[in-house]
């Protein structure tokens, strides 16, 4: 209802609900499945929370509404906002820059202006939704200016920010023409969370270089200004995770188990099924993975009758040119590898450019002997954790890039450098040949980590850190 305010306000680019067509042809809201929603849902219900975000369709301007016990506050975006703030500045400037310029970032002043304008709109919506003294938790790189804008409008609030993607080293970050505004925007928060300690360290260095503020371990000393007293900001790691029990439960259902068997059947029951699951994104190292597999086939170190690679590449950011090019390159490579090495009934790669329901993902995890996560840079990589959570049979080998946040935690995986194609090939062969007892020993230790550090613990730790700031 208009004018209502809440004790906990979550702000993210996308709302946790999607507008979909129901069976009767009428439009309805459906919760979008995702770790963040699962983690925050119980807390949102218990603490009378509201979620501020974009409804996923340009031009849609809706009043706040309730969905399944959560108050939803839509922020409208026009087609131009979407092009300049989202596809432009967020996905074609910040995304490549923050992932170590794997693709060249584009810097356009109109995009920056849109970023400022849209961040202000989100900050205003959050300020309206927040009760006096409320906690506001802002998410991700699309909204880095919101903490400061919000603090200026509402100094009574406790503000948290979590960055889901990496924060780059200063040498890279400093290319951004608006680097100081971004750092100052983030420093509006009381607690700034990062995935890895390197991300927090990079942010602290950028802060020292660009603002001159003193930092002491995870604390930034923000001096008093005419308008505001001196404050301390905490910048540290809170590695995100998944709903481990939920994934495990799903994978244990008879339907999913049966589907996993069926998938292996449909693939011709090869001795090894390898799997990759990624948004089709240049950060995920899909090309490196295909190159390694193609060479193994060429050198006859693996045979197409024995080993098949299933690659799910879910459609992503299809209006951004770098993503269109990447799709073309990947599909050309898949076609070549299948053409060169496949036989009738045995394609080398089963390539799927679709979105799948969660049940199918869980069945794929169960069907896969080897999971390939070869990202060139990734804030965390939840797929790695989901694979582990699904494997309550204790089997399966995870090949994991050391450039993911997950690699800091999942140390019993086969850790690889995806740029080192020979090393990656050796790891694939090692995974295929790994003895039963070693697979189980490694999986046991991976599962312990994922079970004990789930997404509920992550959100709890973040919100506790925020509460301690208010208390202190």
Smallest gap from residue 358 Cβ to ligand GDG (A):
5
The answer to whether 385 touches 406, Cβ cutoff 8 Å, is yes
Task: Report d(CA 426, CA 296) in Å as an integer.
Answer: 9
Which residue of 269, 324, 355, 464 would you call a contact of ligand GDG, by CB under 6 A?
A: 355
Q: Any contact of residue 380 with ligand GDG (CB under 6 A)?
A: yes
Q: How many CB atoms lie within 10 A of CB 140?
A: 19
Token reading at 297: 């086939």
Q: Any contact of residue 378 with ligand GDG (CB under 6 A)?
A: yes
Task: Report d(CA 307, CA 275) in Å as an integer.
Answer: 11
Smallest gap from residue 286 Cβ to ligand GDG (A):
12
| 49 strand-pairing partners | 8
Q: How many CB atoms lie within 10 A of CB 182?
A: 20
Task: Report d(CA 384, CA 419) in Å as an integer.
Answer: 19
Q: Which of 303, 288, 310 is nearest to 416 (CA)?
A: 288
Task: Report d(CA 449, CA 75) in Å as an integer.
Answer: 37
Binding mask 400-429 for ligand GDG (x = CB under 6 A): ------------------------------
What percent of the chain is helix, strand and coil (3-state, nearest 5)? 45, 20, 30
Task: Report d(CA 434, CA 427) in Å as an integer.
Answer: 10
Question: Which range in 121-129, 197-205, 324-332, 353-361 contacts ligand GDG by CB under 6 A?
Answer: 353-361
Which residue of 84, 184, 248, 386 would you call a contact of ligand GDG, by CB under 6 A?
A: 386
Q: Any contact of residue 164 with ligand GDG (CB under 6 A)?
A: yes
Question: Which range in 45-53, 251-259, 300-308, 373-381 contacts ligand GDG by CB under 6 A?
Answer: 373-381
Q: Any contact of residue 11 with ligand GDG (CB under 6 A)?
A: no
Q: Any contact of residue 165 with ligand GDG (CB under 6 A)?
A: yes
What is the set of active-site residues? Answer: 164, 378
Smallest gap from residue 245 Cβ to ligand GDG (A):
15
Decide whether 128 or 317 has the Cβ nearer to ligand GDG.
317
Binding residues for ligand GDG, rule CB under 6 A, total 20
Decide whether 154 or 385 has the Cβ nearer to ligand GDG.
385
Binding mask 312-351 for ligand GDG (x = CB under 6 A): x-x-------------------------------------
- Sign of the C-alpha dihedral computed for residues 265, 266, 272 and 273 taken in this order: negative
Q: Any contact of residue 279 with ligand GDG (CB under 6 A)?
A: yes
Binding mask 22-51 for ligand GDG (x = CB under 6 A): -----------x------------------
Q: Quote the DSSP letter at residue 142.
A: G
- The per-type count for the chain, helices as H runs and strands as E runs, is 18, 18
Question: Which range in 11-19, 43-51, 380-388, 409-417 contacts ligand GDG by CB under 6 A?
Answer: 380-388
Decide whether 218 or 376 has the Cβ nearer to ligand GDG.
376
Q: How far is CA 198 from CA 202, 308, 352, 405, in A?
A: 6, 36, 34, 10
Q: Any contact of residue 451 with ligand GDG (CB under 6 A)?
A: no
Q: Any contact of residue 381 with ligand GDG (CB under 6 A)?
A: yes
The answer to whether 261 touches 389, Cβ cutoff 8 Å, is no
| 107 strand-pairing partners | none
Pairing type for strands 65-67 and 191-194 reads: unpaired
Decide whether 130 or 241 has the Cβ nearer to ligand GDG.
241
Task: Report d(CA 238, CA 379) in Å as an integer.
Answer: 11
List alpha helices for 50-108, DSSP H: 79-81, 95-98
Q: Any contact of residue 234 with ligand GDG (CB under 6 A)?
A: no
Question: Which range in 78-86, 111-119, 377-385, 453-461 contacts ligand GDG by CB under 6 A?
Answer: 377-385
Binding site for ligand GDG (CB under 6 A): 33, 164-165, 240, 277, 279, 312, 314, 355-358, 361, 378-383, 386
């Amino acid at each position: 209802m208009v004018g209502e305010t809440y004790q906990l306000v979550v702000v993210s680019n996308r709302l946790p609900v999607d507008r979909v067509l129901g069976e009767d042809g009428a439009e309805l809201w459906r919760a979008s499945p995702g770790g963040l929603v699962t983690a925050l849902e119980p807390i949102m219900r218990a603490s009378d929370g509201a979620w501020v975000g974009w409804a996923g369709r340009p031009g849609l301007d809706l009043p706040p509404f309730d969905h399944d016990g959560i108050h939803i506050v839509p922020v409208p975006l026009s087609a131009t906002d979407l092009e300049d703030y989202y596809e432009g500045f967020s996905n074609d400037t910040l995304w490549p820059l923050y992932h170590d310029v794997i693709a060249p970032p584009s810097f356009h002043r109109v995009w920056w202006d849109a970023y400022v304008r849209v961040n202000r709109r989100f900050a205003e919506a959050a300020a309206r939704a927040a009760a006096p003294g409320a906690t506001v938790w802002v998410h991700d790189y699309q909204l880095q200016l919101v903490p400061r804008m919000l603090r200026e409008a509402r100094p009574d609030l406790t503000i948290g920010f979590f960055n889901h993607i990496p924060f780059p080293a200063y040498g890279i970050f400093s290319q951004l023409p608006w680097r100081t505004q971004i750092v100052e925007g983030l420093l509006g928060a009381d607690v700034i969370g990062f995935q890895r300690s390197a991300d927090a360290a990079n942010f602290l260095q950028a802060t020292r270089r660009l603002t001159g503020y003193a930092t002491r371990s995870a604390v930034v000393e923000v001096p008093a200004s005419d308008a505001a007293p001196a404050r301390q900001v905490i910048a540290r790691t809170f590695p995100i995770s998944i709903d481990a029990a939920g994934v495990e439960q799903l994978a244990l259902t008879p339907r999913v188990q049966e589907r996993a068997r069926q998938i292996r059947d449909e693939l011709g029951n090869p001795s090894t099924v390898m799997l990759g699951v990624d948004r089709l994104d240049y950060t995920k190292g899909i090309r490196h993975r295909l190159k390694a597999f193609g060479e193994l086939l060429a050198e006859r170190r693996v045979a197409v009758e024995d080993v098949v690679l299933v690659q799910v590449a879910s459609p992503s950011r299809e209006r951004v040119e770098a993503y269109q090019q990447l799709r073309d390159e990947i599909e050309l490579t898949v076609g070549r590898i299948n053409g060169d090495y496949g036989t009738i009934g045995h394609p080398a790669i089963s390539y799927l450019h679709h979105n799948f329901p969660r049940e199918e993902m869980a069945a794929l995890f169960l069907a896969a002997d080897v999971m390939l996560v070869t990202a060139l840079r990734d804030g965390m990589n939840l797929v790695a954790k989901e694979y582990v959570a699904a494997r309550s049979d204790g089997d399966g080998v995870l090949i994991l890039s050391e450039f993911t946040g997950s690699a800091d935690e999942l140390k019993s995986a086969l850790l690889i450098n995806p740029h080192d194609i020979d090393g990656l090939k050796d790891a694939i062969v090692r995974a295929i040949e790994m003895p039963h007892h070693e697979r189980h020993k490694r999986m046991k230790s991976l599962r312990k980590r994922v079970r004990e550090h789930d997404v509920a613990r992550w959100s709890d730790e973040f919100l506790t850190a925020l509460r301690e700031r208010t208390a202190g």
